[in-house]
Amino acid sequence: MMTAAALSGAVSLHAAAQSSVTLFGTIDTGISYVSNHGGHSAWQTDDGINGPNLWGMTGKEDIGGGTKVVFNLVNQFALNSGGFMPGQSLFSRNAYVGLTNLDYGSLTLGNQYDFMSDVLYSSKDDPAIYTSHLYGQGAGPFQKLALPSNPTGDFDWYRAAGRIANSVKYVTPVFGGLSAGAMYGFGNVAGSMGTGDGMSFALSYARGNFGADAAYTFVKYPATAGVIGPQTGVRNWGVGTRYQAGPVLMSALFVTVRNTANGADVYQGSVGANWMVRPDLGLDASYAYMKGNEVVTNNHAHQFGLTAEYFLSKRTSVYALTVYQRASSGADALIMGFTGSTAASSGQNQLVARVGVKTKF
């Protein structure tokens, strides 16, 4: 941690004691084997799988009365190329500033995670946060979802990394283990406040070893330039729960998506467990069932994930993982993390096996 005084070289000791800036990040890379990638098997280097590659800064300033000014700036990068992620810029992962108070809650403004990510994924309700991470998140044989601005039409369809730009976000204090949140993202379209806007809501409960959460997000996407028609609205909601039983964390998640432009619906239910066999060894397993409606040809799929992670230190680990997806007859399996015209399998089955290393700073 570096204090604001260390950064500027000209801040008083009194101010430094009340203010701080922390630099942080995660780095993940490894080698993956894909059984069927557009009809062919493949060995490839992949990064940002067991956690995204992030570099960021977070800070706070105590302004008295129990109130602090906070900020957060986070960049996601492609480690193996050193470049920005496709379609992203310097701090497009997270960029906000605001106020927080234990008695009144927090109010932040900027480009921020919505509550599908904040309370269903980051709270550890989602088994994918331990079992295969990116490979275990929402994808499947649902390209006909046709989500706008999406590389496959169904990439991260339940918004595990969902964000809303130009947003105002409020989270209440915790009362008896219960808290709530609401956010609104402005579309910034002159003459039409509702065009391209977004909203998200959450309700969370945590007491002792048990936690449960619910979230809802609705984001509008203006019609494509030159096309006459209404804007597309994408609606997500989900509920999740978790329970810590000694060294075992058990979690369950149910999530949905609906594209209002074409009526496509998909839901997924998943369960999983993270078992810390020893302080330096974790084993993880998960199962997910996903199903779409007639717009996505009633496709469905089963997905299984296994991970073993050995911690060389508190910051660094090596791991091996595998994910297997079997889609319904006539559908092409697609595990999360693969994009492009040949992302999907050429048949019902797709398997990924990976070894990698991850570190935090």
Q: Minimal CA–CA distance to 152: which of 357, 289, 296?
A: 296
How do the domains of the chain map onto residue ranges? 29-49+104-360
Residue 224 has a pLDDT of 54
Is residue 318 within 8 A of residue 301, CB to CB? The reply is no
Q: pLDDT tens digits, residue range 170-209?
A: 999 999 999 999 999 998 887 777 888 999 999 999 999 9
User: How many Å apart are CA 171 and CA 111, to the nearest integer?
Assistant: 15
Element at 250 (helix H, strand E)? strand 248-259
- Pairing mode, if any, of strands 248-259 and 281-292? unpaired
Buried b (16+ CB within 10 A) or exposed e, 133-146: bbbbbbbbbbbbbb
User: Of 10-19, 72-81, 148-157, 330-339, which gets the smallest average pLDDT?
Assistant: 10-19
Rounded mean pLDDT of 222-248?
Answer: 83
Q: What is the DSSP letter of 119?
A: I
Q: What is the DSSP letter of 282?
A: E
- State the amino acid at position 42 in one-letter form: A
Residue 250 has a pLDDT of 98
State the residue for tokens 């706070």: 60
User: How many Å apart are CA 105 and CA 96, to the nearest integer?
Assistant: 16
**What CATH number has the domain spanning 29-49+104-360?**
2.40.160.10
Q: pLDDT tens digits, residue range 25-57?
A: 999 999 999 999 999 999 999 999 999 999 999
